[in-house]
Structure 1
Amino acid sequence: MSRLLLLRQEGYDRHELDSATRKIFEAFDAPSFIRPGASVLLKVNLVAGHPPERRATTDPAVVRSVTERVLELGAHPVIADSPGIEPFRSVAEKSGLAAIARELGIPCLELTDSTPLPTTPDSAFKKVEVSRLVLESDVIINLPKMKTHGQMLLTLGVKNLFGCIVGQRKAEWHYNVGLDCNAFAGLLLELYLSIAPHLTIMDGVIGMDGTGPTSGNPYPFGLLAAAQDALALDFQLARMMGVRLEDFPLWRVAVARNLPQCELSSQVTGDFPQDHVFPGVKVPLLRGLNLLPRLPFKAFWDSLMASRPVHVPELCIDCGRCEAVCAAKALKHRNRRLTFDYTRCIRCYCCHEMCPVRAIEFRESFLMRLMRLLRGTRS
């Protein structure tokens, strides 16, 4: 049975966070797997170069507190991630994590050197590669941000490990799985099962709802959550965010594999009530999800149901990141104007995710609006 720890954490006060991270390390007996001299990879969320107040990246205060706990055990922590398109050093500086690394005298590194990941025998993904540092670290502590996600509904513990794939190879995987959210969720699940982080500590103090993972709105969940089983933690947090598990692609692929986490039998401890549902969390339903019955030609119907990215020219700074990140080559930018080829667009929404100024939004499809009306799900 998995154990989950849910702690109230209303803000980023240093002393309160230190108390919380000490409780986490004690609850999961961190000294049993973080030994003196061990190399410890702190896998943060550095999706793009945003300040902490944007709530798109793991907060520096959480990273500092966890790092200090690791240092107290005599281990050697490294803060690391692989951003989508921006230079790593710029992203690390803007997020505040480079400053934390300097303060504590530890490395803050980009995940590079793509290396084949040993996968499970029944894996559908035989050629997955991750950073060599991920494979060579003695311990991995997963430090995700609690957010919504345009393509995958939510980005929590399991999704954060997608950053272990190096640089633009992430965009290539988006292109490989195309419009099929379940296929992408299967890749995320395979990454999680193969990497197997020793501990996941979720920064849900102030997370994000709306059009996450970078352009949503700050949401004060007031929660620091931890588990050694990130999949079980994700399912618990999804329900607390008001998400129907049937709509969560990661849940669907876990059910298809008959994984034990789907029994929802985790032991939940801590001072945050496990049956709490956060009010008014805006979840981006950009695809049909389960609004349509099972129909033949699923990919065709998915393409009609999926929302389209649209350009907001008055906000555009003509940086070109949207075009650079698009593995499907479905858009062109020139003079602050974007042209989308929706026949090529795979609805991964990476263009939206990488835009630093929210100049790409979504237009809900007519079929989606109609199905919402017929099903009475219009918000």
Structure 2
Amino acid sequence: MSVTAAPPTPTTIGRRAWTMLALGVAAQAAGTLVVTAPALLIPYLHANGTSLTMAGVLAAAPTFGMVLTLIAWGAITDRIGERIVIAGGLVLTTLTVVGAWLAAGDPVLLGLAFLLGGMTSASTNAASGRVVVGWFPKERRGLAMGIRQMSQPLGVTLAAVTVPQLAEGSGIRAALVLPIVLCAVLAVLCAVGIQNPPRPARHTAPADATANPYRASGFLWRIHAVSILLVVPQFTLSTYGLVWLVGLGWSTAAAGLLVGASQFVGAIGRILVGVWSDRAGSRVGPLRIVVVSAAVVMGLLALVDVTHLAAGAVFLVIATSVTVADNGLAYTSVAEAAGPFWSGRALGTQNTGQFIAASAVGPGIGALVTALGFAASFGIVAVLPLLALPLVPRADRSHD
């Protein structure tokens, strides 16, 4: 196991690696669209008589479903490879969204379909990250994983600019057509186009490469803990940013467009942070700075809500960009520390911790906003990155 050295010289990347990255991004974006859509149905559900807390429960159902299966999908990926997991998972996700389309109007069946959608879409999380790590060398991996991490804001952006408007105009079923079509098409493309990365055979690998990395040190556990704390600000904004803007007087359509734009800006930010980590030769150094920044921007949002500043939309875009910036750094760090024989399970564990916390954001922040308002809620959320700061490891670990 090695620690961080000086930044290496750039390596030429082949066309196949970029193709794998593009398919991985598209597959994960489709999964994110499925998971995010219920949160963006909150205004429609609330306007049609569903309580904010109940709507938050429906919004959290896909995330909870992912929690149940992420580690299992990671273990399956470690054993049989990425291609079958990604393509097969997208087929199953398509079927669950069809089930949600059929269940529209029945909250219980709709919630069950959302739960199953999360369980199946989890297949793309660990597997798409693992395929990117496998095809890109360490010195370009921050860039690659930054691009791969664009999949989440891209999926959220696609959901934000389509789901609220379609639901408001034509109901839930209209809002679910795009996820059905996109997942079905990408299932075919990934089945044809994805190739598993070249990896050493387990029986020829050194003992430390195949050993359980969680027993070697506390590095992975610390990164998992940091990510759990940082996911709360991120999901607070992606889940309730739209509601906050509507409360400030924005129309649903305009608020949806702004939330989508903020996610796009966040996607670009992830790439820049990934490049920064490549040039710095470190993932945890930039991560430490992002942690501090997340606390600052959430505190500023609380101040904006109290003072009713006219530039509230600008602060939301900035805050959304900052609070998603840690994901690629942590994800890459986990994959590198776990190595090729444990990365699927480690990435599954990473996402499981994040989504356990994210599952609580829908109903938890909904209840908090109902009781205390947005300003106090944003202020409370701002404390969590400060708790994460001392947990960030001081040095990187890698099997490369």
Whether TM exceeds 0.5 here: the answer is: no
User: Higher relative contact order at CA 8 Å, sep ≥6: structure 1 or structure 2?
Assistant: 2
- TM-score category of the 2 structures, normalised to the smaller one: under 0.3
Question: So what's the TM-score if we normalise by structure 1?
Answer: 0.27
Relative to its length, the structure with more helix (as a share) is: 2
